[in-house]
Structure 1
Amino acid sequence: MQSWPGETEILIIGAGPTGLALACALRELGLKPLHFDKHLEGLNSSRAAVIHPRTLEVLEAIGVVPTLLQEGLRMEKFRLREGSKVLLQMDFSPLPTAYPFALMIPQQDTERILMARLRELGGEVIRGVELTDVKMEREGVKALVRRGTEEHWIHARWLVGCDGGRSSVRQRAGIGFEGEPYEQDFILADVKMVWPLRRDEASLFLSPEGMMLVAPLPGDHFRIVATVAQAPQDLSLPFFQSLVDRRGPSGAKRITEMFWTSPFHLQHRVASSNFLGRVLLCGDAAHVHSPAGGQGMNTGIQDAVSLAKPLRRAALTGDEAGLREWSKSRHRIAKEVISLTHRMTLAIGLSQPWQRVLRNMILGVISRLPGLSQKFARKLSEIDYR
Structure 2
Amino acid sequence: MTHSPPLIIGAGPVGMAAASFLSRYDIVPRIVDKRAEPSKFSKALAVNPRTLELFEASGITDKLLALGRKIHGTTIHRNGRIVAEVDFEALEHRFPFMLALSQAATERVLREDLAERGIEIERQIELVDSPNLTEGNAELVHVETQANESVAAPWILASDGAHSLARKSVHVPFPGDTYDRAWVLDDIPLATDFAPDRAHIKLQDDGFLFMMPIHTGEEKPGEPTVWRVMGNYPEPLGQLSESNPVGESQWNSSFHIAHRLVESMNVGKVYFAGDAAHLHSPVGARGMNLGIEDAWVFAELAKRDELSLYHQQRWPIDNAIIQRIRTMTGFVKGESFIKRTLRNLLAPKLLHWKGVREAMLRTVSGLDHPVPLFQPAPEESPTEPQPRTRRRNRG
TM-score, L = length of structure 2: 0.86
Rounded Cα–Cα distance in structure 1 between residues aligned with 2:68 and 2:190: 19
Choose the corresponding residue for 1:169, options 163, 166, 169.
Answer: 166
Map of 1:154 onto structure 2: 151
Are 1:51 and 2:47 matched, yes or no? yes
Choose the corresponding residue for 2:140, options 135, 145, 168.
Answer: 145
- Cα separation, partners in 2 of 1:333 and 1:88, compared to 1, 3 Å: farther
Choose the corresponding residue for 1:331, options 309, 315, 319.
Answer: 315
Residues 25 and 61 in structure 1, CA contact (< 8 A), matched pair in contact too: no
Map of 1:357 onto structure 2: 341
Are 1:382 and 2:366 matched, yes or no? yes
Rounded Cα–Cα distance in structure 2 between residues aligned with 1:209 and 1:29: 51
Rounded Cα–Cα distance in structure 2 between residues aligned with 1:166 and 1:45: 18
Deviations 1:2-45 (A, max 9, x none): xxx92123100001100000000111111110110001222376
Map of 1:371 onto structure 2: 355
Structure 1 runs not aligned, ≥5 long: 232-238, 246-250, 315-319
Choose the corresponding residue for 1:294, options 285, 289, 296.
Answer: 285
Rounded Cα–Cα distance in structure 2 between residues aligned with 1:325 and 1:129: 30
- Cα separation, partners in 2 of 1:267 and 1:45, compared to 1, 3 Å: farther
Rounded Cα–Cα distance in structure 2 between residues aligned with 1:84 and 1:142: 58
Are 1:119 and 2:119 matched, yes or no? no
- SS of the residue corresponding to residue 77 of structure 2 reads strand
Residues 274 and 294 in structure 2, CA contact (< 8 A), matched pair in contact too: yes
Residues 187 and 227 in structure 1, CA contact (< 8 A), matched pair in contact too: yes
Runs of 4+ in 1 over 6 A off after TM superposition: none
Deviations 1:353-376 (A, max 9, x none): 443332233223323222321222
Amino acid across the alignment from 1:306:
V
More displaced stretch, 151-160 vs 76-85: 76-85
More displaced stretch, 39-48 vs 189-198: 39-48
Choose the corresponding residue for 2:227, options 210, 222, 226.
Answer: 222
Identity %: 30
Deviations 1:125-152 (A, max 9, x none): 10001100234478x4100000132111
Q: For residues 190-229 of structure 1, what are the structure 2 equivalents within 5 Å? A: 190-218=187-215, 219=219, 220-228=225-233
Amino acid across the alignment from 1:209:
D
Residues 209 and 230 in structure 2, CA contact (< 8 A), matched pair in contact too: yes
- Superposition deviation, residue 334 in structure 1: 1.4
- SS of the residue corresponding to residue 200 of structure 2 reads strand
Choose the corresponding residue for 1:82, options 51, 71, 78.
Answer: 78
Map of 2:103 onto structure 1: 107
Are 1:264 and 2:264 matched, yes or no? no
State how many pairs are aligned. Answer: 360
Residues 281 and 325 in structure 2, CA contact (< 8 A), matched pair in contact too: yes
- Cα separation, partners in 2 of 1:136 and 1:44, compared to 1, 3 Å: farther
Q: How large is the RMSD of aligned CA atoms in angstroms?
A: 1.9
More displaced stretch, 267-276 vs 251-260: 251-260
- SS of the residue corresponding to residue 258 of structure 1 reads coil
Map of 1:25 onto structure 2: 21
Amino acid across the alignment from 2:156:
L
- Superposition deviation, residue 73 in structure 1: 1.0
Are 1:280 and 2:276 matched, yes or no? no
- Superposition deviation, residue 168 in structure 1: 0.9
- Superposition deviation, residue 351 in structure 1: 4.1
- Superposition deviation, residue 160 in structure 1: 0.6
Map of 2:181 onto structure 1: 184
Amino acid across the alignment from 1:75:
I
Residues 33 and 123 in structure 2, CA contact (< 8 A), matched pair in contact too: yes
Residues 206 and 334 in structure 2, CA contact (< 8 A), matched pair in contact too: no
- Cα separation, partners in 2 of 1:268 and 1:44, compared to 1, 3 Å: farther
Amino acid across the alignment from 1:188:
L
Residues 188 and 226 in structure 1, CA contact (< 8 A), matched pair in contact too: yes
- SS of the residue corresponding to residue 383 of structure 1 reads coil
Rounded Cα–Cα distance in structure 2 between residues aligned with 1:358 and 1:262: 29
Map of 2:328 onto structure 1: 344
- Cα separation, partners in 2 of 1:256 and 1:240, compared to 1, 3 Å: farther
Rounded Cα–Cα distance in structure 2 between residues aligned with 1:240 and 1:111: 28
Relative to its length, the structure with more strand (as a share) is 1
More displaced stretch, 75-84 vs 29-38: 75-84
Map of 1:310 onto structure 2: 301
TM-score, L = length of structure 1: 0.88
Rounded Cα–Cα distance in structure 2 between residues aligned with 1:240 and 1:92: 27
- SS of the residue corresponding to residue 161 of structure 2 reads coil
